[in-house]
């Protein structure tokens, strides 16, 4: 597609999350929430941040990370059994197929 800002799909990789990435995933979560959850207040984000950090560091969710060609996380999906419990993308990567890619991986 000429003039498209979407990244080359071949450069995006879905892989399991690494323990050392939990703080990076928390940062993705916060940027995504700020961009998409306008109903949350600053107090809500401050409240949910530590809970989200705990979930990301625990084993409640099976975490899958979407990375760019430099292996930098740009989104993630959390599974609990067969249920998608979390799906967050960097705001600049929204509407480019990354969420669909993560969901397809989960199916």
Whole-model pTM?
A: 0.83
Tens digits of per-residue pLDDT, 3-49?
444 445 558 899 999 999 999 999 999 999 999 998 999 999 999 99
CA distances from residue 74 to 8, 21, 47, 64, 91 in whole angstroms, order as listed? 14, 11, 23, 11, 9
DSSP 8-class letter at 18: -
Task: Take residue 29 and report the two structure tokens written for it.
Answer: 């979560």
For the chain, what is the radius of gyration of the CA atoms? Answer: 14
CB atoms under 10 Å from CB of 87, counted, come to: 18
Angle at Cα 21 formed by Cα 20 and Cα 23, nearest 5°? Answer: 105
Tens digits of per-residue pLDDT, 55-79?
999 989 999 999 988 889 999 999 9
């Amino acid at each position: 597609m000429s003039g498209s800002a979407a990244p080359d799909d071949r450069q995006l990789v879905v892989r399991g999350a690494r323990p050392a990435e939990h703080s990076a995933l928390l940062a993705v979560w916060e940027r995504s929430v700020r961009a998409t959850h306008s109903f949350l207040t600053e107090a809500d984000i401050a409240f949910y941040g530590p809970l989200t950090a705990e979930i990301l560091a625990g084993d409640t969710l099976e975490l899958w990370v979407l990375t760019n060609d430099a292996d930098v996380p740009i989104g993630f999906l959390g599974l609990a059994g067969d249920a998608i419990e979390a799906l967050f993308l960097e705001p600049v990567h929204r509407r480019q197929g990354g969420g669909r890619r993560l969901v397809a991986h989960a199916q």
